[in-house]
Amino acid sequence: MELILINSNKLKIMLTEADMIQYELDCNTINYDNTETRRAFWSILDEAKHRTGFDAASDRVFIQLYPSKEGGCEIYVTKVGIKGDKKAYDPITYGPSILLPDGGKDKLELSFMFSGIGQLLATCRLITRSGQISESSAWIDENKTCYLFAEVPEGSVDMAFVLGILHEFGTPISSEYYKAYVREHGRQFCSDRAVEILSAL
């Protein structure tokens, strides 16, 4: 197991196939409602705390898991708000929320939130270097927070690079919740090919 502390709120965990066997995890059947799955994740996060100081237990966390071709997986853990803080990210109420790519689709959906337009533009400029991301839209809400929603065909870009950049500059979010939120409290300022268009600004 390899651990990379991106910053104080974000951790990248890389599990090998042997690690997956050790923790009895299967990307195709992971379900956080399952007791064994919860136990495995908290064992991994406990080890991460011991080795890096990243304490996931003190915050609400958002977990994204991406299978690797070698049989392991990459896990991104993002703290999204102190427990008990009413201003914290509402959809995550109890413990971790896990987002898995839909194995039945050929495309991976990416949804991220950025503190401002500058962070979004920097992200778009960097991730265009990995390959073409044509299906993407950008939104901004009443507080000037920006949102990027994209669909990436599997194998079309260097996903490790793209995910690293997205997690460095943004925060992963629930696509379903925030698409509904920005329709009511924001506006779309780039409806198609947002990454390509904004990268040129």
> Per residue in 88-124, pLDDT tens?
333 333 334 454 444 444 567 788 999 999 999 999 9
| Residue scoring higher pLDDT (164 or 123) | 123
- Greatest Cα pair distance, the chain, in angstroms, is 48
Does the domain made of 107-199 have the CATH classification 3.20.20.70? no
Tokens of 102: 């839909």
Cα separation, 195 vs 23, in Å, equals 37
Average pLDDT over residues 126-142: 84
Give domain limits for the chain. 2-99, 107-199
Sheet of 146-153: strand order equals: 171-172, 107-114, 146-153, 135-141, 186-190
CA 104 to chain centre: 19
**0.75 surpassed by pTM:** no
The 8 Å CB, 24+ separation contacts for 34-43 are 38/95, 41/96, 41/98
pLDDT at 57: 79
